Chain A
Amino acid sequence: MLLVAAPALLPVFSLTLLGKFICFAIVAVGIGLAWGRGGMLTLGQGVFFGLGAYIMAMHMKLADAALFGGSGVPDFMLLYGSGTVPGWWEPFRSPVVTVLAVVLVPGLVALVLGLAIFKRRVKGAYFAILSQALAAAFAVLLIGQQATTGGSNGLSGFRSFFGLDLADPANKRMLYLAAAVLLLAVVAASRQLVHSRFGELLVAVRDQEERVRFLGYDPATVKTAVYVLAAVMAGMAGALFVPLVGIISPADVGVTPSIAFLIGVAIGGRATILGPVLGALGVAIAQTSLASTFPSFWVYFQGLLFVLVIGFLPGGLASLPAVLGKLRRRRRSAGSGTASGPAGTPAASGSIPKEIPL
């Protein structure tokens, strides 16, 4: 509710900033599903975020060039490229193709990757390393293509978004609302999935993959499906990030941002539905307010918080009440001298196993 009321309360600058954080939160919901529920520690969501963002940015560049440029060729191509639009940009002139591609391209890439990785039963740390390597390779690829992707500068300087003037505060508000609505939709979808039979299966795959296989399910299919879903969420978040922030560059899609996506999820509580959202929002807001006061201090603080949460509170801050409650019960039962609490309580489907499934 607060998210929806914000446009009336906040100035445009803060609203755009919040919109950007909401984009991160949408990515976080996907990571929560893949990592918290599915046990896939994906260190490469920047790839899918970047695919969605670059597709949207290419469309906006082409649309701006057609509206204002005269020649129809984006400005940076005139300066650094051949002065013509490369063939693989052309489809993104169409708004319909762009919107479809924002969803389909990250989804298809994740599908192919997912099948290739999970069918071969690559998991744990190997999967994490592989996904991180992809993010690194993606950023290097973008930097190398100065003439067609803007290289390290990325794509920026957008003026319109599907015909709407981006300088107009009313349109910025609308963009913010679009992000907020998308976040709510993604959270609702995630909740639906978690409470479904498929959600149960996913947790089973995370905790006992071999047993699930013996029961006749194919864990690879289950994992791939969730990996694709997380990728689509990241792609849509990327597509909204571009008009809100006004720039996408390799620095937003490489290894560091991919890991940054994860921090909020871990701190908030990766196996819960709202944990990743609140964690991502909280970390982003804290970073913005603290980092401008203590620039170098923030990095250490974030690292420390991450270590503390992973080390002592693997379920994230969302599990804090439960953990405190357990501590209190234990103390009380120790004090009264009775037998300790019920042993072997069946793990709730959302709880995290003791060992962290890396």
Chain B
Amino acid sequence: MMPAESVVVVRDLVVKYADRTILDRINLDIMRGEVLVLLGGSGSGKSTLLRHLIGLEKPLSGSIIVKGVDLGRCSEAELNQVRRFIGVSFQDPALFGSMTVSENVAFPLLERTRLVDSTIDKVVLIKLAQVGLAHFGAFYPSQLSGGMQKRASIARATALDPEILFFDEPSAGLDPITAAGIDELVVYLKNALQMTVLVVTHELQSAFRIADRLAFLRDSKLVTIGPKESIIHSSDPWVRQFLDRLPDKTSNDKTELLQQLAERLGVRCPKN
């Protein structure tokens, strides 16, 4: 194996919306050729982190360096240069509804390269075949199932052969079989095309199937990060709770709830 090299470096990233801290001093490295899965509960800031990593939003403080370019401080032209090397598949397939699947995949090639039409047609066919949609190029997105739309959006995200692929909830809203197919596709993209992949999800099964390393976001903070094997045996209580799918204890404990309520109202609660 080649010595590990970071393609994405995040240092002390802080993000706030109004007074609410969404991300609190995040430090993260994504190594070349790995699949890193970012896990976390709803509202933990996963998607926000992703949107920052692809330069859709500027950080309040801290730095995000993708392929040597600091996204928070670079010019629009430099940002666009970096974007040439990244592919993004959003939670929503976000295919352009007025174009066929082929045209959707061809779109970045038409807009961003000088390839001739016949070459573009070939690339589109290869990309569609990779995601198992070789015969569906002429269909419109609305004529495809959710899983197929997702695949098509992955084909479009990989059209320019990006070095880094970002996935936001790749299996959200899909049945387990289709979701497993998407997982397989992610692993294939990593192995066959040597892509670096970041997946944001809350699906445990899927995470362990595809990940080389896992990172956990909790309450705006990155709490644990490590290779799959060490995470499985983690002793961190919160990570354990997440992995074992246990609910928060406080939410069911009546006495504790009463006590909290009493504190807020400023009255003393009789101790049993």
Instruction: Decide whether A and B are members of one complex.
Output: no
Q: Which residues of chain A have a CB within 8 Å of any CB of chain B?
A: none
